Structures are given as structure tokens and as C-alpha cells.
Amino acid sequence: MAKLLIFNWKMNPGTFKEAEKILGESIILEESSDKYEIAVCPPSLWLFDLSQKYAGKITFGSQDVFGGDPLSGKGASTGEISAEMLKNSKVEYIIVGHSERRRYENETDEMISKKTEVGLKAGFKVILCVGEDLNTHSQGPEAVKSFIKDQLEKDLENIHNSKFIIHNSLIVAYEPIWAIGTGIPENPESAALMAKYIKEAVGAQVLYGGSVDGKNIGNFIKYEEIDGFLIGGASLSPAQFGGQLN
């Protein structure tokens, strides 16, 4: 099966012109190998125009979705973007529960569980992010497993309570917080062990994220437990992955 590369641009770039340039390079990368499937998640301001203009050339995802009330798809929620709006653009994936949103936007597990439910029920592939901080990491693998188990249980609570099938639509991204944007990824073997653990716990595809770049991705690719990668900073320079993906 093709490995999934999710390019999370976060709050970048500053202009639509730059966004088109990065997207163009991502499309070239996507076309260079059939071993990978790339989905690009630009900021929502760029997402709609890019997804209309480049439909069919590459897959798109949203960095977030509204999970509160009203759930009708429109209403009095300043600054939010609903699943219905995303349905009307050409978006296939939604990222939920990223640690930056948990930390800076005070997103709780309860909110994330709702967003996961909303995204899955609307027919999207939902990428649920989980991951431990440095303190938990320093307590060893069993502490990490127990932290992740707890996070998954809480974030999937709404899903466990409903009957629809999550298989193939839910994707879990294991992103240790201490590895995000630091240039220090988890060692590939430990990342693969955690991916295996998560896969057995929830039956979903598992991505690894945290300081993956063109130089180190090859060290992770050989582990079949890792179904793909959630990539932040390096996704803004897609050409750097060129030779590494064949």
C-alpha cells in the first residue's frame, strides 16, 4: 500500500503566490512516485482557492474543523469552518487534535472527540493527532503507552458510542510533542513500536510526525507499521524529498 504523506503547512506561507509555488512543487513530488500519496493541508484562507484550481492534481486536507454547536454547517460561530463548508470544497482529510491546538487554543479531549465524530460522520478521513510531552517520554515506553491509550480513549469517546464504522476513515498520527519542530525526531524503531501499539488498540492506519525531513525519512520508511508521515516544516520545501521517495 502507498505510504501517506500529509503536508501540514500550519500557519504558512504568508502569501497566496508562495502557497501556489509550494503546491506546485508538491504536485511534482506526488507525480514522481506511485509509492506515496500526498495530501496538502494549507491554512483555510488558501485552501478553498487552491483546492478548486488544482483539483485532481493533488489531494487536500483541512487543518481543523468546527466541532461545536450548531452542527448544521452554518451559524453564529465567529472564525469557524464547518464540515459542510469543507464538503463543498474538494477536501478529503481533516486534521484534529494537533498538539499546537491543544496547547495554544486550549482544545480539550472532549472538543477533539466531537470534531473527530463530526469529521467522520461527514465522510472525511480524519487524522487524529496524539502524542506525549517530554516529561512523560522521560518516564519510558510504558508511561508513553499509557498516556497514548488514555488520550485515544478520550478522543474517540464519541466514536465508541456510535455505531458507524471507523475502519479506513480514521487515521491516527503519533506526534510526540517534544519532537515537533525541534529537529530531533523519535528514533524510528521506537516510533514503529508505538505505531504498532496504536494500530492494535484502535485498528486504524498510523502516521508518525515530528521533525521528519528529506534527510531522515528514509530511516522510517522501512517500518511497515508506519503507514505514512505527518510533516510540518519540511513540507514547505517539498523538493527536498525528491530523491528520498523512490
Binding site for ligand 13P (CB under 6 A): 8, 98, 175, 180-181, 209-212, 230-234
Tell me whether residue 8 or residue 82 sits nearer to ligand 13P (CB atom). 8
The residue from 30, 98, 100, 186 that is catalytic is 98
The residue from 30, 107, 132, 175 that is catalytic is 175
Number of Cα atoms under 13 Å in the Cβ half of residue 190 = 15
Tell me whether residue 70 or residue 218 sits nearer to ligand 13P (CB atom). 218
> How many angstroms separate the CA atoms of 209 and 173, rounded?
7
- Three cell numbers at 180? 515537533
Q: What is the closest distance, in whole angstroms, from the C-beta atom of residue 136 to ligand 13P in the complex? A: 17
Among this protein's residues, is 175 annotated catalytic?
A: yes
Among this protein's residues, is 137 annotated catalytic?
A: no
User: By the 8 A CB rule, do 180 and 132 touch?
Assistant: no
Q: What is the closest distance, in whole angstroms, from the C-beta atom of residue 63 to ligand 13P in the complex? A: 9
Instruction: Provide the H-helix boundaries in the chain.
Output: 16-31, 44-53, 83-87, 99-104, 109-121, 134-137, 141-155, 157-160, 188-202, 217-221
User: By the 8 A CB rule, do 32 and 238 touch?
Assistant: no
Q: What is the closest distance, in whole angstroms, from the C-beta atom of residue 78 to ligand 13P in the complex? A: 25
Tell me whether residue 67 or residue 97 sits nearer to ligand 13P (CB atom). 97
> How many angstroms separate the CA atoms of 99 and 106, rounded?
10
> How many angstroms separate the CA atoms of 121 and 60, rounded?
18
Residue nearest to ligand 13P (CB): 232
> How many angstroms separate the CA atoms of 37 and 159, rounded?
26
Tell me whether residue 84 or residue 92 sits nearer to ligand 13P (CB atom). 92
Q: Mind telling me the catalytic residues?
A: 98, 175
